[in-house]
Amino acid sequence: MKIYDDYAEQVAVEYFSNISNTVGAVGLGIFIGLLHVNTTPQKSALLAFIILFLWVFSQGSEYRKLLKIQKVKPKYGAFIKHGWLSYIALLLLGGLGLDLIKASWFV
């Protein structure tokens, strides 16, 4: 059990860790699957990006409520430290969907 400085830090770490574990793993799996299955994955990647982004946003209701009630600033350091996998997965899917990342680079 980890000891936190305050409740806001605990909620931030739990929120970003859960997002990184679920959205990051699912997003990377979708990204890799789209590279190998689909010859033009842009539409599918954009759809996956939108769904995962909405999933991330919906998971943060408790964190947003806490920020509003306690009037504290978001902990961006916690996001970078604990949510990096989801950030990478969303960037890869968004890049693939916008054709900034080419599927041919990974073949």
Q: Is the pLDDT reported for residue 87 higher than 90?
A: no
Residue 1 lies in a domain: no
Give CA–CA dist 51/41, Å, rounded. Answer: 15
Q: Given a cut of 60, is residue 33 above it in pLDDT?
A: yes
Closest CA to 8 of 76, 54, 59: 76
For position 36, what pLDDT does the model report? Answer: 87
pLDDT band at 1, cuts 50/70/90? low
Structural domains of the chain, count: 1
- Mean pLDDT, the chain, whole residue set: 83
Q: Helix, strand or coil for residue 98? A: coil
Query: Does a structural domain hold residue 25?
Result: yes
Domain residue limits at 39: 7-106
| 30 contacts 53 by C-beta, under 8 angstroms | no
* Model confidence, pTM: 0.79
**Residue with the larger pLDDT of the pair 27 and 66:** 27
